[in-house]
Amino acid sequence: MAEVKNTKKRKTLYSLFFKRFFDIIFSLLALIILSPFLLIMWIVLRINLKGKAVFAQYRPGKDGKIFKFYKFRSMTNETDENGELLPDAQRITKIGKFIRKTSIDELPQLFNILKGDMSFIGPRPRLVKDMVFYDNETLPAYSVRPGITGPSQVCGGRSSISWEEIFALDLDYANHITIFKDIAILFKTVGAVFKSDAGSAGDSKREYYYADYLLKTNKITKEQYDLGLKRAEALISSGGKIEYQADLREEAIASSNENQED
């Protein structure tokens, strides 16, 4: 299992200036070129889903600052008799499976890149309810702009590799951003898109949500889990930023020390 190693971040002219410059130029060009296709997709999804075509969700960005993240919707809002949303597998449409499979659902994030919320390449933006549980060794991996694609995405990050491996890959990327690494990830993404699955929670080979993984492996208590979800909601409402929450992981550290002594 890969370990998260917090090495010193290496800053280069590319990471400090040219990476953002290229993001602005290429996202603007992509939006201009793809605008007819984006409009067609928007119309098709509006008709297919009988509602909004774009899904907006708050995600942590650079240095944990929360921003509004966009995707094309792939699922309906159908509910059961109790008003609860049906499982993903029952709500996803045929066209929804297709746009996930081909990553077309990610195209609205071109607007996020142009705004400066995201980059083309970087660690994927995770959920607020997961990131509130990240420890001090993991959080530095998300001190850079998140990307449409990134190191863990081309290494089975959608469903195959463990959370620990994802964190190790993302931290290594954040500490060593180079143009050569970005180009390599970009080319690997093209191949990965056609090999990967739809990436839904039900398809994942690991626990899809990090908070659920921590709870099910007894790394946090149910009380910590519930408290973390409440804090995530408060952060989204206030537009704050993710910071280390010691009391959400204290028991996990204590438990780990006890196991080592045993």
- What integer pLDDT is reported at residue 260 of this predicted model? 45
What's the rounded mean pLDDT across residues 94-121? 93
Contacts of residue 212, Cβ cutoff 8 Å, sequence gap at least 6: none
Q: For residues 102 and 190, what is the distance between their CA atoms, to the nearest angstrom? A: 9
The Cα–Cα gap between 2 and 38 comes to: 39
More reliable by pLDDT, 253 or 55: 55
Across 185-194, average pLDDT? 82
191: pLDDT strictly greater than 50: yes
More confident residue, 86 or 251: 86
Q: Is 47 helix (H, G, I), strand (E, B) or coil?
A: helix
- Which of the two residues, 109 and 93, has the higher pLDDT score? 109
Residue boundaries of the structural domains of the chain: 13-261
CB proximity list for 130: less than 8 A, separation 6 or greater: 209, 210, 211
Task: Name the band, by pLDDT with cuts 50, 70 and 90, for residue 119.
Answer: very high
SS3 24: helix
